[in-house]
Structure 1
């Protein structure tokens, strides 16, 4: 059964009149790892923004557990339903990894960081002293300690080397399959797409299952 559903969703920029998304209907389930691919400028970031409640559909509705996110309130949706993972990590760099996690869940402990592959000694260092791969592990850990059932990731491997990319892909798969979350990744990476359970392509202003 779907946790997240787009029902005939359209999006057009008000100031320019440019349509980014034609009427699109798609469902996403918990326990699955989804990849959304497409060329630059195809609307991937806008698509993610719609799911996150950062952008408002021009028409149609987005449902979580059959409730329209407009009716529940976008702020509520972002706080309770969505955990975001960014390409640039969006961590507070003067805090430690554990302190970043505790901002989301005060009960978070070092165990989740170890599961993310972060060595014990790293948990007490300021974020600014960690590598990009280590910071992305913290960012995914932050999403995991959230009670949100949906994880949205925007190019999470975009700044990472090949080996770290493979490790991050495995972590995201585990978040979907072992933690039963709905993980949706917008990506340019063929490796991410190949690892996904379901791949969609944004083409001709709509979402096509590959």
Structure 2
């Protein structure tokens, strides 16, 4: 479904420092992928490339065989991928439910309730919610969007162990029961245990974790 084809990437503002080199990896529908690696290895950069938020220095990102640069990055982000950002990226003047409805206008409060946000909390401005609650709203927004790919940057980072387990279960169901491609960048051993495929970003490339 999604493929990195000989992808390389160098930072523009750090003297051209290369973080990815000749990365080739295919991501299939129906699978839950975890990408691990040391801080600064380029995991978030890799996710940005998969999301069409940034463009590779060399190589291509393909969605169902089509170069996403050819089809248009905006179209790719709108139609193909949903993102859970580490920094949430919620609209701070909207309520939790209004944030979810940005991607799915018909979404009901039950989308948030499944993630531990009450009906009353769903009506609150997101700035009135805790960091953990905001993280759940961000996850709910990604879940509500009807896209074939879900990308997550540390989606369980601000959650307690029980809620993290519930999020992992939801991601597994999206992959296994709805045939979505789920790709998560993480430091969490809990997420790694729940993934179907674990890849490690090391020495500027992706390799199966041994």
Q: Distance in 2 between matches of 1:164 and 1:120?
A: 18
Q: Distance in 2 between matches of 1:84 and 1:34?
A: 14
Matching residue of 2:10 = 12
Q: Distance in 2 between matches of 1:91 and 1:204?
A: 33
Q: Distance in 2 between matches of 1:178 and 1:121?
A: 30
Matches within 5 A, 1:107-122: 107-122=106-121
Question: TM-score with structure 1 length normalisation?
Answer: 0.91
Q: Which secondary structure does the structure 1 equivalent of 2:19 belong to?
A: strand
Matching residue of 1:71 = 70
Q: Distance in 2 between matches of 1:162 and 1:111?
A: 22
Any gaps of 5 or more consecutive residues in structure 2? none
Matches within 5 A, 1:1-210: 3-15=1-13, 16-210=15-209
Q: Distance in 1 between matches of 2:182 and 2:62?
A: 16
Question: TM-score with structure 2 length normalisation?
Answer: 0.91
Q: In structure 2, do the counterparts of structure 1 residues 175 and 135 end up closer, same or farther at CA, with 3 Å as the change threshold?
A: farther
Q: Distance in 2 between matches of 1:179 and 1:171?
A: 11
Aligned 8 A contact 1:116 1:171 in 2? no
Aligned 8 A contact 1:36 1:186 in 2? yes
Aligned 8 A contact 2:135 2:158 in 1? no
Cα distance, 1:171 vs structure 2? 2.4
Q: Distance in 2 between matches of 1:22 and 1:7?
A: 11
Post-superposition CA distance 1:130-157 (Å, at most 9, x none): 2333322221221122122111111112
Cα distance, 1:167 vs structure 2? 2.4
Aligned 8 A contact 1:136 1:156 in 2? yes
Q: Distance in 1 between matches of 2:169 and 2:131?
A: 17
Aligned 8 A contact 1:21 1:205 in 2? yes
Mean Cα deviation higher: 125-134 or 138-147: 125-134
Any gaps of 5 or more consecutive residues in structure 1? none
Mean Cα deviation higher: 135-144 or 110-119: 110-119
RMSD: 1.7
Q: Which secondary structure does the structure 2 equivalent of 1:40 belong to?
A: coil
Cα distance, 1:181 vs structure 2? 1.7
